[in-house]
């Protein structure tokens, strides 16, 4: 199966949201396909980065980011999600690499938040050079801490 990573368009958003809404991450935050579609539309309207991973069977992943979303100097990965069928296939790593490439070499590096219960995501980001630098208790949902991960920019 051939997978393409490309900028998402308005026409992609409903199918993308429908494909990803069943993921435990979105269920934990009570985001159904309608809510995800609305959020993805907002991202496009604001000119934020929204990359789609798609293949023969349709959408299978998303990467939503801001090139200067943290302290005005650091890139911010808002969401990286891959369908359960494609988890472990390397698609998440490809989306993460596309995010980093799309942001260039931001002075402040690359930031993201991941939930304290999402240990698989924490290990994934650590394998890709990110490290936990902080924690925000009850930031998005009561009882859940968001962990701040950071990767310094590559200087060269």
| pLDDT tens-digit series, residues 126-137 | 999 999 999 999
| pLDDT tens-digit series, residues 52-87 | 999 998 999 999 999 988 888 899 999 999 999 999
Q: Does domain 3-108 have CATH number 3.40.630.30?
A: yes
Minimal CA–CA distance to 114: which of 74, 79, 82, 64? 79
Instruction: Assess contact for 101 and 128: CB atoms under 8 A.
Output: no
User: What's the pTM?
Assistant: 0.93
| pLDDT tens-digit series, residues 96-107 | 999 999 998 889
């Amino acid at each position: 199966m051939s997978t393409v990573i490309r900028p998402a368009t308005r026409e992609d958003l409903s199918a993308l949201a429908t494909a990803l809404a069943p993921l435990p991450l979105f269920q934990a935050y009570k985001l159904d396909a309608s809510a995800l579609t609305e959020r993805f539309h907002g991202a496009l309207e604001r000119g934020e980065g929204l990359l789609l991973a798609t293949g023969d069977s349709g959408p299978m992943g998303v990467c939503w980011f801001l090139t200067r979303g943290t302290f005005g100097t650091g890139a911010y990965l808002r969401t990286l999600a891959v369908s359960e069928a494609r988890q472990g296939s390397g698609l998440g790593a490809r989306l993460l690499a596309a995010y980093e490439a799309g942001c260039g070499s931001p002075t402040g590096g690359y930031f993201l938040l991941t939930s304290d219960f999402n240990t698989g995501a924490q290990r994934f980001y650590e394998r890709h050079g990110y490290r936990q630098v902080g924690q925000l208790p009850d930031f998005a949902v009561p009882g859940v801490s968001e962990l701040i991960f950071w990767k310094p920019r590559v200087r060269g």
